[in-house]
Structure 1
Amino acid sequence: MDNFLGLDLRLIWFHLYQLGITFMLSLPLAINRESDSAGAGLRTFPLVGISCCAFILVAMQVYEEPDAQARVMYGIITGIGFIGGGSIVKDSNNVHGTATAASIWLTGALGVSVAYQRYEIAIVLSIVGFMVFQLLKPYKQKKE
């Protein structure tokens, strides 16, 4: 039974698989940002990742030509940059949230990588992103 009510069940399972991978790979960054009380965290990062993955999955199904898929990716890159920009806050002499903004962008790239089945890229993005926050934290200068 590959079809139910006109739906391709194999394709549904494949998309759930892709979105699940994206969700799992975005969790290390989400947990880190949540534990550091950053503005974006457990809800934002998985949503960004799976949304980017979903946009590419739809583009791959709807547009056969690579140029159209590339335009969707360009839109994602721009849109995620805009969302990340919203997490940057400047007060008198300090700027906060640039690392969170960059990690939101990284999570978008992770979602795109999974959609194109470039799991090796997505895994490296997840690991390196998490390591940047964990291993470089002691070297971050605290501003008063």
Structure 2
Amino acid sequence: MQSQITTIEIIVRLFLTVIIAGMIGYDREYKNRPAGIRTHILVCVGACVIALIQQEIGFQTIDFARSYPKYTNVVRVDEARLIAQVISGVGFLGAGTIIVTRHSILGLTTAASLWATAGLGIATGMGYYEIAMISAFVVIVVLTLLQKIIHVDALKKVEIKYRDKVKTKNYLQKYFISHHIEIYDVKFSMEQSNQGVVYTNIYKIKIPRRLAYTTIIEDISMQSGIVIVRLINI
């Protein structure tokens, strides 16, 4: 049974898939994320291949029904069956890029980009070029430009452990005021260690747009008497 999709069409779809996924994967690899160019390309190409196979199955079913009309009511084809398996399968792959630590979760954006890349591969494989190109543009804009255009002054929690109570509290108060950092809440505790009393402050703060939380942690950690400075989840 002859293929309904020409060889040129297959090459064009796969080539477009590689270009689209490569651009998305480049952004992830440039930012040193778990899944880079090759991973995104392979996911997108795999989804494209599945979509091509799904289309071929549909065309072959139609040809079979034309050749054997008496089996028309028996033969069935579900256009979404293989595609649904791709989406669920990529979910497991995306889960592998998520790193969960005690105080943070990393890799969610990369997992989402892999899932979106699979969708782009399906669109390309099915021949929906307009959907694929516009969607790819949107995904790339979200990954590269959205954070620069829209900035959310999210609340952060910073845990600071120190030994010199008076000196450190005065320093922190002056630091937050001079850097226009708003304090929404603070929790204080203390514990006895072999080297003396260790005080702990957990601040819930709002950081100005021009200031990165990494800068705050680095600045505070350089102060004498500071034991630990780290960002924790709210």
Range class of TM-score, shorter chain? 0.7 to 0.9
Find the residue that maps to 2:6 and give its secondary structure.
helix
Please give the alpha-carbon distance, in whole angstroms, between the structure 2 residues aligned to 1:120 and 1:11: 19
Per-residue deviation at 1:67? 4.6
Residues 85-142 of structure 1, C-alpha deviations (whole Å, 9 max, x = no match): 1111100010000000000000000011111211111112211111111113343776
Q: TM-score, normalised by structure 1?
A: 0.85
Structure ranking higher in helix proportion: 1
Q: TM-score, normalised by structure 2?
A: 0.54
Contact in 2 for aligned 1:29/1:103 (Cα 8 Å): yes
Per-residue deviation at 1:34? 0.8
Please give the alpha-carbon distance, in whole angstroms, between the structure 2 residues aligned to 1:118 and 1:17: 12
Partner of 1:20: 15
RMSD: 2.3
Matched, 1:40 2:50: no
CA shift in 2, pair 1:23/1:29, >3 Å: same
Q: Which runs of 5+ in 1 are unaligned?
A: 1-6
- Further displaced range: 131-140 or 85-94: 131-140
Q: Which runs of 5+ in 2 are unaligned?
A: 63-75, 155-212, 215-230
Partner of 2:49: 54
More contact order relative to length (CA 8 Å, sep ≥ 6): 1
Mapping of 1:101-112 within 5 angstroms? 101-112=111-122
Q: Alignment length, in residue pairs?
A: 137
Contact in 2 for aligned 1:18/1:114 (Cα 8 Å): yes
Letter in 2 for 1:135: L
Large movers: runs of 4+ above 2 Å: 10-13, 62-69, 136-144
Please give the alpha-carbon distance, in whole angstroms, between the structure 2 residues aligned to 1:135 and 1:13: 34
